[in-house]
Amino acid sequence: MKEKPYRKFKEGVLIKKVVAAIIKDKDQILIAQRHSKDPLAGKWEFPGGKLEPGETPEECLVREIREELQLDVEIVAFYDDSVYGSKAQAIHLLFYWAEIINGEVTPIVHDDVKWITIKELARFDFAPADIPIVKRLEREYI
C-alpha cells in the first residue's frame, strides 16, 4: 500500500515516515554509524531513510539500502515501529527484517558499519528513535 510520507502527529506537528532495515546474516545484524556532519553524528542506527511520495515502505527501504550501502536486499517481514519527536517535528520509524541478496556492504553516507550480534547492541550508542527497537531485540533474543 502506498503511504503518504507525512501525516499530522498532533496539532501543529507533522510526522515524517522513515523506514529502517534490520539486515541479518546468520546470527549477526548490520548497524551503521551516522556521518560526522550529521546532526546525530557518531550515533549508531539501523540503516534506512525517508519515504518518498508514492513509495511503499518496502520500496523505500530497498531503494535506501541500495543508495546508502550498495546492497540489494529482500524485505522479509515487518518487525516493529516507534515514534520519536519533539514539539515541532516527529518521525514514525518502521523497522523491517531484511536479507542481502546481492552486493558487498559499502557505506556511502555512514562513517562506519559493523556486523554484530544482538548481545552486542548494548555496547553501541544508538540514535534515540532506534533505542526502543534495540531494547525489544534485546528482550526477545538474548
Could you tell me the CATH number of the domain that includes residue 117?
3.90.79.10
What is the C-alpha end-to-end distance of the chain, expressed in Å?
A: 33
User: pLDDT below 50 — which residues of the chain?
Assistant: none
* pTM reported for the whole predicted model: 0.90
Q: How many separate domains does the chain show?
A: 1
Q: Which of 5, 29, 12 is nearest to 87 (CA)?
A: 12
- Domain that residue 51 falls in: 6-141
Is residue 34 in some structural domain?
A: yes
Report the C-alpha gap between 43 and 124 in whole angstroms. 8
For position 15, what pLDDT does the model report? Answer: 87
Is residue 115 in some structural domain?
A: yes
